[in-house]
């Protein structure tokens, strides 16, 4: 359900809603995005050329902007279907100057999951809701205020004994103002909180409630100064404070024998100074050059384990534990980050773009995706886990045809990553106070080519996108327990060489139109058990090399028909019906692959969501 960009892990993407971070951007097994489309103004994604104001991630920035409400009239937009309902309102607060946007969305899919002819979903449940409120006000021509609040919650169960829940909560405020005719400033404050939990209720006395949390508080001030017609400077300062609950467990009910336990909370401070220059050399040449200095400090209170130098990290090489007071620096990291991009116009419709970036990433996810429902836990860099670093170079060619009706692009990239994290063979990541003994840090590389052709206008429009990409990790050490696949490069968990996306829209008449969405991805790598052996009256499983095999390829075809109401100008509201079928081909795409032992035999199982065609009808309205 995460977003993998150019061979990067899901945690390597900075996803922002009105300047505040969203840690989980999806609903309902990744079928729905976490953002309400009726309250979203626009989205910018940066993969090669990253703006100098953004940092802290190696792969990409997804910058999402919500709508400013109407300052003149009340407006509403909504939809009602068998799975979801959605409503957004735009309310004038003060004519011509202030407005309010309120949006809410919810899913009630339990009944449809249980009615499908799939035994695996008979006891399943899945629901979500989200809400957003945004206030916007202008103060004259040179100042405006935006304030956004957002909350979402998901609950799902794909096994009868486990209920998974996660939530996003964020708030942000931004004051844009002019300091002079040539300088504009923006003061930004934000808070983000992400929580994940599991309620296990089986037939034993081991029922539990497992919880994780990460939150961050950010303060940023940035300025833009137009020096002259050729140079525009972007500069500023940013800081954020992290707080992480690495895991806590408690009894789910009075009949449980689980003892309450909580790992110490982690805290850290991250900051950056940044400066960039947009240099218009000529009509054809444009340069964007800049840099950041990133700083990070792991903070007390807390304790850190120290291990014997030149030895693998394990309980036998642990030599001492050091305690730190509140606010005390445990460990610091930092360094410069380079941002460079260039564009050359060959003519008005043909351009070449290139970029080179370096980056630090101080927070990580720890993932063991061999379970029925993968759990991601967040970890801050500290004395034993170093920040990830990386660089990326890209070069692309862009051509527009038919007065910009058709866009064609071809872009290639190469990325190098250091200190990437993965787990040791047989690692125990659950509520582990010495988690550094269960993970490895190594290097990675990714490369690929992205092709896109897009038609913007006409009765037939849409796009075809194809990406060939590879992503590899390497963990090498003189100690066998810290070496994976003999220290050779191997495909990362998100190495998917082929990715195809085709979207077509066709308008038959003013009232009738159809759409098609087709996606294909190579199955992700996986480690399989390949044998068993018995030793001292105990059975042991022999696994293949790390990520030697792949799960089945993913592909899905969705079809839809829109039937609009009449287009009379004096109608109070405009409405239309959408009739759609999700997964028309009935492809049994795996959501998760895991292994169980049944009577001494290891079996591979997979969880799938909607492995049969799912029809839907939705009523949409707008006034």
**pLDDT tens digits, residue range 395-404?**
999 999 999 9
Backbone angles phi, psi at 327, to 5 degrees: 80, -5
R_g over Cα of the chain: 26
User: Which comes out higher in pLDDT, residue 358 or 125?
Assistant: 358
Query: Which residues 6+ apart lie within 8 Å of 601 measured at CB?
Result: none
- Distance set, CA 274 to CA 216, 221, 235, 359, 505 (Å): 20, 10, 5, 13, 42
Q: How many domains does the chain have?
A: 2
Assess if residue 59 is contained within a domain: yes
Look at residues 495, 530, 562 and tell me which one is the last residue of a structural domain: 495
Q: 391, 361 in Cβ contact below 8 A?
A: no
DSSP state of 260: P
pLDDT, tens digit, 9 for 90 and up, residues 193-249: 999 998 888 777 888 899 999 999 999 999 999 999 999 999 999 999 999 999 999
d(CA 168, CA 224): 31
First-residue to last-residue Cα distance in the chain = 33
d(CA 105, CA 150): 12
Assess if residue 84 is contained within a domain: yes
Per-residue confidence (pLDDT) for residue 372, from 0 to 100: 41
Q: Is pLDDT at 571 greater than 80 in this prediction? A: no
Per-residue confidence (pLDDT) for residue 368, from 0 to 100: 64
Assess if residue 252 is contained within a domain: yes
Q: Are residues 447 and 566 in the same domain?
A: no
Q: Is pLDDT at 362 greater than 90 in this prediction? A: yes
Q: Are residues 123 and 197 in the same domain?
A: yes
d(CA 301, CA 258): 27
Per-residue confidence (pLDDT) for residue 183, from 0 to 100: 97
Assess if residue 506 is contained within a domain: no
Q: Are residues 489 and 521 in the same domain?
A: no
pLDDT, tens digit, 9 for 90 and up, residues 520-552: 999 999 888 888 787 887 777 788 999 999 989
d(CA 236, CA 179): 14
d(CA 117, CA 571): 42
Query: Which residues 6+ apart lie within 8 Å of 228 measured at CB?
Result: none
Confidence of residue 569 (pLDDT cuts 50, 70, 90): low
Per-residue confidence (pLDDT) for residue 322, from 0 to 100: 95
Assess if residue 226 is contained within a domain: yes
Query: Which residues 6+ apart lie within 8 Å of 592 measured at CB?
Result: 158, 369, 371, 372, 373, 374, 606, 607
Per-residue confidence (pLDDT) for residue 370, from 0 to 100: 47
Q: 528, 520 in Cβ contact below 8 A?
A: no
Q: Are residues 490 and 521 in the same domain?
A: no
Assess if residue 481 is contained within a domain: yes
Q: Are residues 578 and 438 in the same domain?
A: no
Per-residue confidence (pLDDT) for residue 599, from 0 to 100: 65
Q: In CATH, what number is assigned to the domain containing residue 365? A: 2.40.170.20
Assess if residue 113 is contained within a domain: yes
d(CA 611, CA 609): 6
Query: What number of other Cβ atoms are within 10 A of residue 282's Cβ?
Result: 9
- Distance set, CA 317 to CA 38, 370, 427 (Å): 56, 28, 17
Q: 246, 266 in Cβ contact below 8 A?
A: yes
Q: 596, 603 in Cβ contact below 8 A?
A: yes
This prediction's pTM: 0.92
Percent of the chain with pLDDT strictly greater than 90 = 71
Q: 512, 561 in Cβ contact below 8 A?
A: yes
Shortest CA distance to 52 belongs to which of 306, 190, 237?
237
Q: Are residues 490 and 559 in the same domain?
A: no
Q: Are residues 126 and 48 in the same domain?
A: yes
d(CA 475, CA 497): 21
Q: Are residues 452 and 584 in the same domain?
A: no
Q: Are residues 144 and 64 in the same domain?
A: yes
Q: Are residues 368 and 446 in the same domain?
A: yes
- Ranking 39-53, 108-122, 379-393, 422-436 by mean pLDDT, the lowest is 108-122
Mean pLDDT over the full length of the chain: 91
Q: Are residues 196 and 237 in the same domain?
A: yes
Full domain range(s) for residue 597: 517-541+549-623
- Length of the chain equals 623
Per-residue confidence (pLDDT) for residue 123, from 0 to 100: 66
Q: Is pLDDT at 344 greater than 70 in this prediction? A: yes
Q: Is pLDDT at 371 greater than 60 in this prediction? A: no
Is the four-CA dihedral 46, 47, 50, 53 of positive or negative sign?
positive
Q: 461, 505 in Cβ contact below 8 A?
A: yes
Assess if residue 429 is contained within a domain: yes
Q: Are residues 428 and 560 in the same domain?
A: no
Per-residue confidence (pLDDT) for residue 114, from 0 to 100: 64
d(CA 127, CA 109): 6
């Amino acid at each position: 359900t995460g977003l993998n960009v150019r061979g990067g892990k899901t945690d390597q993407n900075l996803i922002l809603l009105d300047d505040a971070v969203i840690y989980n951007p999806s609903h309902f097994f990744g079928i729905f995005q976490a953002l309400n489309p009726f309250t979203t103004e626009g989205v910018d994604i940066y993969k090669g050329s990253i703006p100098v104001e953004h940092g802290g991630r190696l792969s990409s920035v997804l910058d999402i902007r919500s709508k400013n409400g109407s300052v003149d009239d009340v407006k509403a937009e909504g939809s009602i279907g068998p799975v979801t309902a959605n409503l957004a309102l735009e309310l004038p607060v003060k004519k011509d100057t202030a407005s309010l946007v309120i949006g809410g969305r919810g899913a009630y899919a339990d009944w449809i999951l249980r009615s499908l002819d799939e035994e695996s979903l008979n006891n399943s449940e899945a629901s979500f809701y989200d809400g957003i409120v945004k206030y916007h006000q202008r103060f004259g021509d040179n100042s405006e205020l935006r304030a956004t609040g957002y909350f979402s919650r998901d609950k799902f169960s794909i096994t009868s004994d486990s209920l998974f829940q996660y939530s996003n909560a964020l708030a942000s405020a931004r004051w844009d103002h002019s300091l002079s005719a040539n300088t504009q400033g923006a003061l930004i404050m934000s808070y983000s909180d992400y929580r994940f939990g599991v309620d296990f209720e089986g037939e034993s006395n081991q029922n539990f409630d497992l919880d994780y949390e990460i939150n961050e508080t950010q303060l940023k001030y940035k300025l833009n100064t137009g020096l002259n017609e050729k140079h525009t400077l972007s500069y500023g300062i940013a800081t954020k404070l992290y707080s992480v609950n690495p895991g806590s467990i408690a009894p789910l009910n009075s009949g449980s024998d689980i003892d309450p336990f909580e790992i110490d909370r982690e805290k850290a401070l991250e900051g950056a100074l940044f400066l960039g220059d947009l240099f218009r050399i000529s009509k054809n040449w444009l340069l964007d050059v800049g840099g950041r200095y990133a700083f990070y400090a792991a903070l007390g209170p807390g304790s850190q384990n120290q291990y014997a130098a030149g030895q693998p990290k394990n309980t036998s090489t642990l030599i001492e534990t050091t305690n730190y007071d509140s606010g005390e620096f445990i460990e610091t990291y930092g360094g410069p980050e380079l941002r460079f991009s260039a564009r050359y116009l060959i003519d008005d419709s043909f351009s070449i773009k290139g970029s080179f970036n370096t980056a630090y990433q101080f927070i990580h996810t720890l993932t063991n995706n061999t379970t029925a429902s993968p759990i991601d836990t967040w970890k801050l860099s500290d004395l034993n886990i170093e920040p990830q670093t990386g660089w990326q170079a890209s070069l692309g060619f862009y051509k527009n045809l038919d007065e910009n009706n058709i866009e064609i692009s071809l872009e290639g990239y190469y990325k190098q990553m250091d200190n990437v994290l993965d787990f040791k063979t047989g690692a125990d990541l659950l509520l582990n106070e010495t988690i550094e003994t269960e993970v490895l840090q190594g290097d990675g590389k990714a490369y690929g080519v992205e092709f896109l052709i897009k038609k913007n206008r006409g009765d037939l429009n849409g796009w075809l996108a194809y990406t060939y990409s590879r992503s590899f990790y390497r963990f090498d050490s003189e100690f066998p327990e810290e070496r994976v696949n003999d220290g050779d490069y191997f495909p990362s968990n998100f190495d998917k060489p082929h990715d195809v996306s085709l979207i077509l829209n066709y308008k038959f008449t003013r009232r009738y139109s159809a759409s098609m969405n087709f996606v294909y991805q190579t199955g992700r790598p996986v480690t399989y058990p390949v044998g068993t052996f018995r030793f001292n009256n105990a059975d042991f499983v022999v696994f293949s090399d790390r990520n030697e095999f792949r799960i089945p390829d993913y592909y899905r075809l969705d079809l839809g028909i829109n039937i609009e109401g009449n287009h009379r100008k004096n109608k109070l509201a405009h409405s239309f019906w959408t009739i759609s079928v999700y997964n028309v081909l009935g492809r049994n795409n795996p959501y998760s692959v895991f292994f169980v032992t049944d009577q001494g035999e290891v079996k591979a199982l997979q969880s799938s969501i909607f492995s049969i065609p799912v029809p839907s009808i939705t009523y949409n309205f707008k006034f």
